[in-house]
Structure 1
Amino acid sequence: MSNEANKQVVLAAIDDATGRKNEVHRVLAQGDFVVTHATTTLPDGGRAAAFDLWQIADGQITGHWGGQEPIVERTANGHTQVDGAAVIDTTADTDATRRVAEETVRTILVDNDFSDLDRYLAGESYIQHNPRFANGISGLAAAVGELAKSGQSLKYSDVLDVVAEGNFAYFRSVGVLAGADFVFHDLFRVADGRAVEHWDVIAPR
């Protein structure tokens, strides 16, 4: 099935499959996988930002992994966890997007190499949606520095899944934050060979 057909399978089933009411902001697909990024309303009425990864075979959902974080009203960057660019540029080179984003994740988050952030991220124009971090590479560097000073290091140990379409690339990874095991869901928008925008959800493993 095509990417668009697989997306429609997920969008038709997402509320029933998750047991939540979802307002989907972004959906991308590659091969047998679909990723949704949504504001979700939980059964108790709470609201969260959610990433869900779906596996599709013959028009049916055969696998599902997800994570969510409560919506934060005041963020360090002035953005919400779900706003920003939403339309996929289907003319963009998906393979190039995947390559750029994968190098970014592996260098900065797996190897913890912060020596050349400008090579991977769009400088002070880098738009951040993680509620804890300010915009720009200075915001990222400051937040990582504060984590290190307080002994709360952030390090990814393995990238489990990558889904890219057009100018967007999603990663599901595992790692450690402040000594605890987490699953990390990251979505990057890529332009001119660098990551220009980032959304994420961090969920206990």
Structure 2
Amino acid sequence: MTPTEIVLAAVSALFINFDQQAATELLDPGYIQHNPYVPTGAAPIIGFIPALKESGLEITTHRVIAEGDLVVTHNTYENAQLFGAEAWVAFDIFRVANGKVIEHWDNLQVPVVETASGRSMVDGATEITDLDKTAENKALVTAFVTDVLHGKAPDKITDYISATHYHQHNPNVADGLEGLGAFIGYLTKNNIAFAYTDTPIIVAQGNFVFTASEGVFGDAPTAFFDLFRVENGKIVEHWDTISEIPSEMAHENGKL
């Protein structure tokens, strides 16, 4: 099985079929957990499966991209009160080794219905194309993260984002460069800190590039998980989840 097949089988075992035996076969016993609220190891999450089934949890996977041993899924969780809210939009990252899922990161955000762009947090393009441009698109987004999100050369933003069409799924930002500029202006006017400081994970497949970053939003340490779609050498679509990083976690693995 490919890493993608292994991950999708694990997701099905955990959140669709609620199959503890299948999950035991697919998760490495030393499963490294980065969700702040779940203890590390395979046993805690496998032991939680009956409660997940009883809760009526439902998962919808909107996008899957993979590179090497990393697989990223873009999901909606519903009937998710056990996770602390009725629904969540999430990016989950899984690392696969020796035929098993060995590590997991995620970032969850409560979905917003009325968004600045009129787009939902999960709709939009899903088809993976331009596989021959994976390296080129990854380099583009990596440079965008360095120059714009990390603040090395923010004036170069038009080198990376399309000036003619930029579809935005962040609920607080309208479409286009104008919408992004208005959001940044609002943050500046209200003295709201917003900074990316480290981006340790970048995963690319064809026209999609995913990044997982740490930084600051307001007064809080924050995790930013972003998915970008590239077309003709420019970023044309963006999804994300933003979540505060708690000071105390159920393990010592860190958020990222």
TM category (shorter chain) comes to: over 0.9
CA distance in 1, matches of 2:241, 2:132: 25
8 Å Cα contact 2:228/2:236 also seen in 1: yes
Conservation of the 8 A alpha-carbon contact between 2:147 and 2:156: no
1:95-117 per-residue CA deviation (whole Å, 9 max, x = no partner) reads: 00100111111111111643232
Q: Which structure has the larger Rg?
A: 2
Which residue of 67, 70, 75 maps to 1:30? 67
CA-CA distance at 1:10 after TM superposition: 1.1
Divergent runs of 4+, >4 A: 17-20
Residues 137-180 of structure 1 show CA distances to partners (whole Å, capped at 9, x for unaligned) of 11001101110111112110001101000111000000001121
1:6 partnered with 2:3: yes
Q: Do the aligned residues in 1 keep the contact of 2:168 with 2:237 (CA within 8 Å)? A: yes
* TM-score under structure 2 length normalisation: 0.75
In structure 2, what is the Cα distance between the partners aligned to 1:139 and 1:124? 12
Contact 1:14 1:22 in 2 (8 A): no
- Give the structure 2 partner of residue 174 of structure 1: 214
Q: Which ranges of structure 2 fall in alignment gaps of 5 or more residues? A: 16-44, 46-51, 246-256
Contact kept, 8 Å, 1:124 with 1:135, in 2: the verdict is no
SS in 1 for 2:91: strand
Task: Say if 1:42 and 1:162 are closer, same or farther in 2 by CA, change over 3 A.
Answer: farther
Aligned residues: 202
Q: Which runs of 5+ in 1 are unaligned?
A: none
* Alpha carbons of structure 1 residues 112 and 159: separation in structure 2 relative to 1, 3 Å: same
Q: Find the counterpart in structure 2 of residue 197 from structure 1.
A: 237
Q: TM-score, normalised by structure 1?
A: 0.93
Structure 2 CA distance, aligned partners of 1:92 and 1:190?
13
Relative to its length, the structure with more strand (as a share) is 1
**What is aligned with 2:224?**
184
Structure 1 position 150 matched with structure 2 position 190: yes
Letter in 2 for 1:51: F
Separation of aligned partners in 1, 2:110 and 2:175: 20
How many Å apart are 1:42 and its aligned residue? 4.8
Query: Contact conserved, 2:91 with 2:108, CA < 8 A, in 1?
Result: yes
| Inter-partner Cα distance in structure 2 for 1:182 and 1:79 | 24
SS at match of 2:154: coil
- 2:192 & 2:144 partners in 1: Cα distance? 21
Measured in 1, the distance between the counterparts of 2:152 and 2:173 equals 17
In structure 1, the partner of 2:115 is 75
Amino acid at match of 1:183: A
SS of 1:203's partner is: strand
Aligned partners of 1:90 and 1:123: how far apart in 2?
21
Is 2:66 the counterpart of 1:66?
A: no
Distance, in Å, in 1 between the alignment partners of 2:173 and 2:164 is 13
Contact 1:184 1:201 in 2 (8 A): yes
